[in-house]
Structure 1
């Protein structure tokens, strides 16, 4: 594909898989950073399970599933700060979003072998709704991902439906939108899957003997503002590319309250 084809594909389908954004050395650096974060979390008794709950799987299966997830990884290790503003990342973001790009948040997701938890199909919109829907996720693959170890699946063109009602704000009706309804997006380590926050996506259980590690960066147009006061954190609004033309709105308005 050329640049124009890439942009058109994203507009029509709501996602774009870009190969080889990060080289082997950069991938190894981020893998090591993930391991250090998990170890520090365990030492500080902050190593919680983020596996999704619900009726999309039998209860006995849900109990066995594990998902390591931590937000704001760029606060925990500089490897991810470098990745957030990587030239190859911003080149794609400028094509899709435009010249002025902000980071909203980052997180890591680790599916361990054999029992790595599934993500039922959902949109990201309910978690951090914005007025102009420029928000997208950039899922950085730190391992090869395929159907066996729970690669991401998307429903092409689903972003054009707009926001959909979710079960408890977390996931779509799994009978109407089973994971099998999505198009699998197998990827190699170093590849990045970009998808709009309205694009329906999810992933199945890791049934392999291989770990599936992803780091996800959520980006938006600097002019696109939240439509609800939800999912704010201290780093929201970091300029990744271009400029913030709204001089009076350069950081979130936080209030500290007594517990």
Structure 2
């Protein structure tokens, strides 16, 4: 599936974009199901086990930031977990044994969609080794104006930065307290149907959606089978092994020399990264005053 050049780019940059992985028909099916979820969000007024809502969400104008674990709520999403084209990408990067973790669908509403502050996924779920990545299925064209993922090249080979504020985990890096040159960030751009792949240690974030079109990115988290979680280890080994999408499970975790900092004490606001990051005082991605006022109404 991947060329040597793509594998080399992933290993060097910490992220790649692979075009034309999903057909227009497959993308249309994902959009249709997602539109149905957003329409049903008119019936909710606060975060639920399925919905994470924008602060400006109303029944008249539903704004969903995230659909949580979408693979558990609709078979169209669930089918992608074992999609051979995705699994082949991961096997090319890690070898034959791959395990699924979870999924999320991040939505950025036109002219508003909330930013996500700089962070490393690794801060949320450290493992015994760092063969972990998120695959993003681009349900819309990812363009400069609609808040695409931004990645700091090579940051997956660097340190794990502090994601705490006031003594608690906050799921974000303080941009004023680290030595990262954020001007080096590169956007992961692509047409609908492409996928992005980013390493769990890669520093990434995304800005406000300033375009007049919605932006939807369906993210699936995977890991090598010998990468075992250091936080919330599996209690049911059969259920853990049922998450295998390629190859064989193992009871022998691979231990690598990787930086680890536990996400404890937990964030004051839980439920999603958006709520976690409200604990961060110094933000990089500013929300214009008129949009902050709109959210407060």
Q: After TM superposition, is the score higher than 0.5? A: yes
Say yes or no: does 1:192 pair with 2:195: yes
Q: In 2, Cα distance between the equivalents of 1:207 and 1:165? A: 29
Aligned with 1:117 (options 110, 114, 117):
114
After TM superposition, list the pairs within 5 Å mapping 1:191-210 onto structure 2: 191-210=194-213
Contact 1:104/1:236, CA 8 A, preserved across alignment: no
Q: Aligned partners of 1:48 and 1:2: how far apart in 2?
A: 34
Q: Tell me the equivalent position of 1:221.
A: 224
Report the CA distance between 1:41 and its aligned residue.
4.3
Mark the CA change 1:126 to 1:86 in structure 2 (over 3 Å): closer, same or farther: same
Q: Deviations over 1:37-84 (max 9, x none)?
A: 233444355344267xxxxxxxxxxxxxx6521221111111112112
Q: Contact 2:234 / 2:240 at 8 angstroms: preserved in 1?
A: no
- Any idea what the Cα deviations from partners look like across 1:216-255, whole Å, max 9, x if unmatched? 00000111101122899997651111221339xxxxxxxx
What SS is found at the alignment partner of 1:22?
A: coil
Shift of 1:164: 1.4
Give the 5 Å matches for 1:139-218. 139-168=136-165, 169=169, 170-175=171-176, 176=178, 177=180, 180-218=183-221
Separation of aligned partners in 1, 2:113 and 2:87: 30
Q: Hey, what does 2:31 align to over in structure 1?
A: 31
Alignment partners' CA distance in 2, 1:117 and 1:87:
32
Q: How many residues are treated as equivalent by the alignment?
A: 233
SS of structure 1 residue aligned to 2:53: coil
Contact 2:115–2:147 (CA under 8 A) maintained in structure 1? yes
Superposition deviation, residue 18 in structure 1:
0.6
TM-score by length of 1: 0.81
Work out whether 1:245 is the aligned partner of 2:242: no
Distance of 2:92 and 2:138 partners within structure 1: 21
In the TM superposition, residue 36 of structure 1 has moved relative to its aligned partner by 2.2
Matched, 1:126 2:123: yes
Change (3 A) 1:68 1:93: same
RMSD: 2.6
Contact 1:49–1:68 at 8 Å: present in 2 too? yes
Structure 1 unpaired stretches of 5+: 52-65, 248-259
TM-score if structure 2 supplies the norm length? 0.71
SS in 1 for 2:218: strand
- What does 1:34-53 align with in structure 2 at a 5 Å threshold? 34-43=34-43, 46=48, 47-49=51-53
- State the alpha-carbon separation in 1 of the partners of residues 29 and 148 from structure 2: 21
Identify the residue that residue 9 of structure 1 maps to in structure 2.
9
